[in-house]
Structure 1
Amino acid sequence: MLQKIRSVIVEDESAAREALKSYLAKYCPQIEVVGEAHNSKEAISILHELQPQLVFLDVEMPFGNAFDVLDECKDLYFETIFVTAFSEYSLRALNQSAAYYLLKPLSIEELILAVNKVQKHIINNEIFNRNKIIVENFREPKPEKQQVILPTLEGFEVIKMENIIRLQGNGNFTDIYLSDKSKKMVCRFLKHFTEILPHPFIRVHKSHIINIHFVKSYHKGSGGYVVLDDNTEIEISPSYKDEFLQVFK
């Protein structure tokens, strides 16, 4: 028989807590809820006491947010499924860290999907401290100094954003070219990175996103093209040209 996943729910709204518990009981029988916390202070002590394998963590709470909880629990290892009311900032942070998150109001399908992914990690013993990177990113005010977790065919890689020169769409994948001349093939569409990468990244073509810090020169034309520090020439689509030139004004 499959071992249950010991889990804690951290959520300040009692109705939301009860709803999540009843969904888990009904649709995710592999989850055993061993504890609950109503705010970040309670969460920190309960997580140290119970040391669960999985935490359902509300992003915004009284007395601090999810990132404060993770910071205080960085000596613990657990998988996290964030639960959040939509906020562009927190979603970008979670996407950059390849975290699992559920939007309120909860979708049962999304909940089952997230729990199944976490279960797979736990069964395969894929120990990967995503929480540490989420906290580091949250504490780093300069976006280009933050890290992004890239899902590759072999697993995950953690890359500093400032080391990415450019990204190129490649069917269902994205090729990422780095300043050390290496290339990573990532299991995500290019559109995913348009949504999660902050300035200095800019889309210049349906197949290309570039880091403007690596632009060496720009050559005019209907859209024109740029030459990057690694001597790659990247065409600029006419539809992206104005946005590109705006950055350099």
Structure 2
Amino acid sequence: MTLTAVLIDDEQNNLDNLGHLLGAYCPEVTVTGTALSAKEGRLLLERVRPDLLFLDIQMPGETGLDLLRSLHTYSFDVIFVTAHDQYGIQAVKFSALDYLLKPIHIDELRTAVDKAIQRRGHPQGQLENLVHLLRQQHREDHRIALTTLKETRFVPVRQVIRLESTNNYSHFYLAGEERLTTSRAIHEYEDMLRDYGFIRCHQSHLVNQRFVRSWVKDDGGYLLLDDGTQVPVSRNKKSAVAAALHR
């Protein structure tokens, strides 16, 4: 499969470097246009309609996220490119989208392109979810993209009761007694969900504080949830759990 691509970055040397890497290591990608600003990029996207967009996040004036927020339809996949791993990346992670940190590593570029090829023709709504996150001011309305073997589900964070890890898999337990399994480690979700009231009470457990009924300190200590689940609290997490529950 071949993909057409547009590159948007406010520095010409970054565009030249990425174009060179794609030509050398991703022969299935054909660059059909480049732009040095969000304004130029918006016009280019309307004219070219690529399969894939490599988009710098932090640009003067309008950012890459501002550009996406201004669009009405999304007929392309996006791979974000940024020199700042905290700038906008939280929302990108929440939407299960790919991103590359500058300077770009060849293996990471190749992996991101491979994922885009696998997704082509199977729109999963990641971009729509990202824009939804950017437009919503209230965290209670945010949805997290959970990619399983069969689908990508967009689940409201308020419906996630807890997470439990098994090796590099994370099991999401949702309100309504549904369980979803993803192939991402629990520590990645801990970073994403830290500001949403989730507590890492154990190496293998992450709990949504809104579902905690009580902290039972007998038998080593555990959190009793509204659905009757008992989630262990490890010794080295007790102070963090206490601080979180008494905020």
Cα distance change of structure 1 residues 76 and 91 upon mapping to structure 2, 3 Å threshold: closer
Shift of 1:58: 0.3
Deviation string 1:14-38 (CA, Å, 9 cap, x unpaired) is 1111100111111111111111111
User: CA contact under 8 A between 1:217 and 1:228: conserved in structure 2?
Assistant: yes
Q: 2:185 aligns with which of 182, 186, 189?
A: 189
- With 220-229 and 44-53 compared, the bigger mean Cα shift is at 220-229
Corresponding residue of 1:17: 15
Deviation string 1:56-79 (CA, Å, 9 cap, x unpaired) is 000011221122111222313100
Shift of 1:143: 3.1
Q: Partner of 1:135: helix, strand, or coil?
A: helix
CA–CA separation in structure 2 for the residues paired with 1:221 and 1:140: 41
Q: Partner of 2:154: helix, strand, or coil?
A: strand
With normalisation by structure 1, the TM-score equals 0.93
Shift of 1:240: 0.6
CA–CA separation in structure 1 for the residues paired with 2:109 and 2:27: 12
Deviation string 1:164-184 (CA, Å, 9 cap, x unpaired) is 000011233111111122111
Whether 1:43 aligns to 2:57 is: no
Q: 2:3 aligns with which of 2, 5, 10?
A: 5
Q: Partner of 1:180: helix, strand, or coil?
A: coil
User: CA contact under 8 A between 1:48 and 1:73: conserved in structure 2?
Assistant: no
**How many residue pairs end up in the alignment?**
245
- With 171-180 and 19-28 compared, the bigger mean Cα shift is at 171-180
CA–CA separation in structure 1 for the residues paired with 2:220 and 2:101: 39
- With 217-226 and 189-198 compared, the bigger mean Cα shift is at 217-226
Q: 2:113 aligns with which of 104, 112, 115?
A: 115
- With 158-167 and 189-198 compared, the bigger mean Cα shift is at 189-198
Corresponding residue of 1:173: 169
Shift of 1:142: 3.0
CA–CA separation in structure 2 for the residues paired with 1:138 and 1:198: 18
CA–CA separation in structure 2 for the residues paired with 1:162 and 1:149: 13
Q: Partner of 2:137: helix, strand, or coil?
A: coil
- With 149-158 and 82-91 compared, the bigger mean Cα shift is at 82-91
Q: Partner of 1:169: helix, strand, or coil?
A: strand
Residue 94 of structure 1 aligns to which amino acid in structure 2? Answer: V
User: CA contact under 8 A between 1:55 and 1:81: conserved in structure 2?
Assistant: yes
User: CA contact under 8 A between 2:7 and 2:35: conserved in structure 1?
Assistant: yes
Corresponding residue of 1:145: 141
Residue 214 of structure 2 aligns to which amino acid in structure 1? Answer: S
User: CA contact under 8 A between 2:171 and 2:180: conserved in structure 1?
Assistant: yes
Q: Gapped runs of 5+ residues in structure 2?
A: none
Residue 32 of structure 1 aligns to which amino acid in structure 2? Answer: T
Shift of 1:135: 1.2
CA–CA separation in structure 2 for the residues paired with 1:89 and 1:60: 7
User: CA contact under 8 A between 2:69 and 2:134: conserved in structure 1?
Assistant: no
Shift of 1:86: 2.2
Corresponding residue of 1:224: 221
Q: 2:241 aligns with which of 234, 241, 244?
A: 244
Whether 1:67 aligns to 2:65 is: yes
Whether 1:204 aligns to 2:201 is: yes
Residue 60 of structure 1 aligns to which amino acid in structure 2? Answer: Q
**Structure 1 runs of 4+ with >6 Å offset:** none
Shift of 1:223: 5.1
Shift of 1:211: 0.3
Corresponding residue of 1:99: 97
Shift of 1:53: 0.7
Q: Partner of 2:88: helix, strand, or coil?
A: helix
CA–CA separation in structure 2 for the residues paired with 1:132 and 1:13: 27
